[in-house]
Amino acid sequence: MLFKDQLYFVRENMKKNKMRIFMTVLATAMGTAFLIVLASVAFGLHDTLIKDVLEQETVNQVQIYGKDDPNSQGITDEDIDYFQSLEHVRAVRKQSYLRQSPRVSLNGYETSPHTVAVDMGALETGGTPLEDGRYATSSDEVVVGYHFYEQLLKEDTDPEDMYDENGERIDDTLYQGAVIGETIDLTVSRLINETDTEEKTYQVTIVGVTAEPANEWQQDQTLYTTFDFYQSVSEYTGTPGGELYFQEEPMDLTFYYDEVTIQSNNLENIQTLTKTINDEGYYGYSVASELKQINMLFTIAKAGLIFIGAIAVIIASIGIFNTMTMAVTERAPDIGIMKAIGASPKTIKQIFLLESSIIGIMGATIGTLVSYLISFLVNIGLPMILEAVFEEQLPDGFQFSSIPWTLVIIAYTICLLVTLISGSRPAKKATKIDVLSALRREL
């Protein structure tokens, strides 16, 4: 029997009991929609979280914190050369923290910023763009962070007068002028004996301001200097990085990098790169490895929700079993005639399995379409409801429900499998119909 004819038979049979078929398809569609919508929450939240992580500029970076070597004091230029020789490396950004916060004076405003010596070239290629100006090219030039100006305070400002009753910074207390092109006095201290200090002031020019960080909660108030400046401070204080520490004997001023960030040319290679570096004995960390844990957590959540959703489909399958059993009982005389003519048990079974599969496919298709509609409405409506009821605004790009094609495939597979199982017993029953008994019923 041709498949086309089997389909014709099924269609004709389904037409005979439209209402019953409709109700069965409806139950299956509801089960499938429940499964998809339920699981789509895990998919939606996962997508949102992943998107959030991927938006961080640190996502395709491996941060190196040191080396697993007792003789090693830190990361040296030799190590940097090794990192640069690795595959998939786009840039190696290295930095060393000044061990004291120098005092900065700018037109009557003062601050003591966190100061970092960086490789300006790598800063440029390593994804730290400038909002304005240019990168520093000599030891008397610096770049400041986007929020640097916010911490500049007038010399006589009382910290209590800086904020209003709502905790907002009062505009008058902020530095108002442009910072680019301004020359600042950078004063560093050193201990000349156990208790006394003396200071040295460097005059440096602000030549650039970094771009605003990607996330609102990130603050960049750093003062970026060159390694030459860093070395110059080390030589003045006689301690590495200008640390306020007194020692009679001259200290070893060998230069080490405190932090090295390796940027990969591709997010997909980040895990390979991290593994290579860690295998070589370095302490490397990448946000991407956190992604692995997030993915694992959400995979478990998705599987759990799909399992709960599948129960709804299984409940709907009771309807299919009932419908198919009734169909077999009602059509027993026709089945008897077909068998008497020469229909094989296999053909009879195929027709009934096809019918239950079609019910399953119709249910899954309608359920999927309804799920997309629900998902769409939830993504639009939920932020509005949350805003209206709780006065909470969800972050931009927040997705409560997401239905990827893989979820649709999973739902279809579960639905089809369950309908085939529930249809198989009635189909088997149809093949067992005794021709003579069926023909006698026809009388």
Partner 1 sequence: MIEVKQLSHQFELGKKDKKTVIPVLQDVSFSVTKGEIVTLVGRSGSGKSTLLHLIGGFLPRQSGAITINGTDVSNFTEAQFAEFRLGTIGFIFQNFQLIQSMTAYQNVELPLILQGVSETARKIQALETLEKVGLKGFEHHYPSELSGGQQQRVSVARALVLNPLIILADEPTGSLDSETEEDLLHLIKELNDSLDITFLIITHDDEVAKIGHRSLMMHDGALIDQEVK
Among 26, 361, 386, 439, binds partner 1 (CB under 8 A): 439
How far is the C-alpha of 238 from the C-alpha of 230, rounded, in Å? 12
| Closer of 268 and 442 to partner 1 (Cβ) | 442
1 lines the binding site for partner 1 (CB under 8 A): yes
Tokens of 201: 């002031």
192: amino acid identity, one letter: I
Per the listing, tokens 């209402």 go with 19
Write down the least CB distance from residue 12 to partner 1, Å. Answer: 7
Select from 232-240, 253-261, 343-351, 373-381 the region that touches partner 1 (CB under 8 A): 343-351
The gap from C-alpha 442 to its chain's centroid, in whole angstroms, comes to 65
Element (H, E) at 405: helix 405-431
The gap from C-alpha 256 to its chain's centroid, in whole angstroms, comes to 34
259 lines the binding site for partner 1 (CB under 8 A): no
Q: Are 118 and 206 in contact (CB under 8 A)?
A: no
324: amino acid identity, one letter: M
How far is the C-alpha of 46 from the C-alpha of 299, rounded, in Å? 9
Binding positions for partner 1, 9-48, rule CB under 8 A: 12, 16
Cα torsion 142, 148, 154, 155: sign: negative
Per the listing, tokens 């709502």 go with 166
Write down the least CB distance from residue 314 to partner 1, Å. Answer: 32
| Closer of 389 and 443 to partner 1 (Cβ) | 443
Select from 45-53, 317-325, 336-344, 371-379 the region that touches partner 1 (CB under 8 A): 336-344
Binding mask 208-227 for partner 1 (x = CB under 8 A): --------------------
| Closer of 16 and 51 to partner 1 (Cβ) | 16
Write down the least CB distance from residue 438 to partner 1, Å. Answer: 9
86 backbone dihedrals φ, ψ, rounded to 5° = -70, 155
Q: Are 153 and 162 in contact (CB under 8 A)?
A: yes
Element (H, E) at 90: strand 89-97
Strand partners for 224: 116, 143
340 lines the binding site for partner 1 (CB under 8 A): yes
330 lines the binding site for partner 1 (CB under 8 A): no
Among 182, 212, 280, 334, binds partner 1 (CB under 8 A): 334
338 lines the binding site for partner 1 (CB under 8 A): yes
Short-list 195, 249, 204, CA closest to 223: 204
| Closer of 178 and 326 to partner 1 (Cβ) | 326
Short-list 145, 153, 152, 127, CA closest to 224: 145
How far is the C-alpha of 193 from the C-alpha of 238, rounded, in Å? 12
Q: Are 255 and 227 in contact (CB under 8 A)?
A: yes
Among 70, 159, 181, 342, binds partner 1 (CB under 8 A): 342
Binding residues for partner 1, rule CB under 8 A, total: 23
326 lines the binding site for partner 1 (CB under 8 A): no
Among 74, 127, 213, 345, binds partner 1 (CB under 8 A): 345
Write down the least CB distance from residue 339 to partner 1, Å. Answer: 7
How far is the C-alpha of 290 from the C-alpha of 306, rounded, in Å? 24
Per the document, the length of the chain is 443
Select from 74-82, 155-163, 172-180, 431-439 the region that touches partner 1 (CB under 8 A): 431-439
| Closer of 311 and 326 to partner 1 (Cβ) | 326
Binding mask 276-315 for partner 1 (x = CB under 8 A): ----------------------------------------
User: Which are the contacts of 289, defined by CB distance < 8 A and separation ≥ 6?
Assistant: 271, 274
Tokens of 73: 């004091």
Residue 260 burial (CB count, 10 A): 25
| Closer of 9 and 400 to partner 1 (Cβ) | 9
| Closer of 46 and 339 to partner 1 (Cβ) | 339
How far is the C-alpha of 371 from the C-alpha of 329, rounded, in Å? 35
Among 269, 347, 357, 424, binds partner 1 (CB under 8 A): 347
Write down the least CB distance from residue 355 to partner 1, Å. Answer: 15
160 lines the binding site for partner 1 (CB under 8 A): no
Select from 214-222, 298-306, 332-340, 353-361 the region that touches partner 1 (CB under 8 A): 332-340
Applying CB under 8 A, the residues found at the interface with partner 1 are: 1-2, 4-5, 12, 16, 334, 337-347, 435-436, 439, 442-443
